[in-house]
Amino acid sequence: MTFLKSNLETPGPIHHRVNYLRISVTDRCNLACRYCVPKDHLPTLSHKDIARYEEILRVVRLSRDLGVTKVRITGGEPLVRKGVLDFISEVSRMPGIEDVSITTNGVLLRKNAHLLKGCGIKRLNISLDTLKPERFRFITGKNLFKEVWGGIMAAHDQGLTPIKLNAVIMRGVNDDEIEDLVALTRDYPFHVRFIEYMPMGNSKVDMEQEVLIPEIRERIETAFGPLAPVTRGVHDGPAKRFKIENAPGEVGFISPLSSHFCHECNRLRLTSTGNLRPCLLNPYEREILPSIRQGASDHELKEIIMETVRRKPVSHTLITDECSRTTSQMFTIGG
């Protein structure tokens, strides 16, 4: 079942098949990546402004009733929130939820990899923009590359698969490492995915530093030869998947700017403040937390979810003259 087939009697068209809920459980993070945090200061939310786990679980259950089968836990850094492992276990055990994964920066992964596996996590996404410790410190603000790489290896040793390593390439920062990152796919069954920088909030990255996917792909094919396409899986997101010859791993491209995939988007987001957001690159959000705390019925909450899905735009306008940088900060939305 999908939102397109919902039996709720709500007017207005729904243009997208939405079966994927991404949940930001916290705005807090133990890194300060240049493309994520603001230039001036890093605001933090008070405890009362963050959705409680029981409130999030109710949204998951109602979304499941409407057709959601896939859930991803994000942050900020989700592993910094107390009790997150128990929360993940509850989501994983929920009937009808077929796929649960987590996005992490890897800092706390070494001691949590086996626990995540026990919670029902089979695969995970890890942000990794560089293989050079000093550069890692420049990009993230912290000297923690050794901890992150150790976490990646711990997840690999636990048999979590696929492990997706997400890299944002920035000109003059890490654009000389494209080939080194791809080479990981020859040694490990990792999925190295290149994601175009998305202009959100007041980050420390200038648009002139952006490197788009066509340029990245050309660099890869010059170094490794033609990329062979990989058949999409049932739970795949917008990444276009490829392999280099004889590699156990994969190369992926996520290109929100150079090649819009809005028509394929199947995602709904729940922010750390309990707002529903139908599009990462559009500022529209719909509050659901106040309704939950004021005693709204399941039917009323499902109406809010459906109305949010109806507001999902057909496309974003980030590269047109009419649109300026999205003002929301990435760490509050969940990527």
Residue 251: band (very low, low, confident or very high) from pLDDT cuts 50, 70, 90: very high
pLDDT at position 2, please?
53
- Neighbouring CB atoms inside 10 A of 111's CB total 12
- 124 has pLDDT over 50: yes
pLDDT at position 3, please?
54
Q: What is the mean pLDDT of the chain?
A: 87
- 51 has pLDDT over 90: yes
pLDDT at position 200, please?
53
This prediction has a pTM of 0.88
C-alpha distances in Å from residue 263, one per residue of 14, 257, 259: 12, 13, 11
Cβ-proximal residues to 294 (8 Å cutoff; 6+ apart), any chain: none
Residue 237: band (very low, low, confident or very high) from pLDDT cuts 50, 70, 90: confident
pLDDT at position 313, please?
84
Which structural domain range is residue 176 located in?
3-333
- 239 has pLDDT over 90: no
| Rounded CA separation 263/17 (Å) | 9
More confident residue, 298 or 282: 298
- 77 has pLDDT over 60: yes
pLDDT at position 8, please?
40
Q: pLDDT digits over 132-188, tens only?
A: 999 999 999 999 999 999 999 999 999 999 999 999 999 999 999 999 999 999 999
Instruction: Please give the tally of structural domains in the chain.
Output: 1
User: Do the Cβ atoms of 105 and 127 come closer than 8 Å?
Assistant: yes
More confident residue, 315 or 323: 315
pLDDT at position 4, please?
44
Please name every residue paired with 97 in a beta bridge, in sequence order, or none if there are none: none
pLDDT at position 197, please?
83
DSSP 8-state class, residue 204? S
Give the least confident one: 142-146, 258-262, 298-302: 258-262
* Amino acid (1-letter code) at residue 282: N
More confident residue, 13 or 68: 68
CATH number, domain containing residue 265: 3.20.20.70
Q: Starting from the edge strand earliest in sequence, which strands make up the sheet with 240-243, in order? A: 228-229, 240-243, 250-254, 191-195, 163-167, 124-127, 99-104, 70-74, 20-24, 267-270, 275-277, 286-287
Query: Mean pLDDT over residues 202-210, rounded?
Result: 66
Determine phi and psi for 73, rounding to 5 degrees.
-95, 125
Residue 261: band (very low, low, confident or very high) from pLDDT cuts 50, 70, 90: low
User: Do the Cβ atoms of 329 and 28 come closer than 8 Å?
Assistant: no
- Neighbouring CB atoms inside 10 A of 209's CB total 18
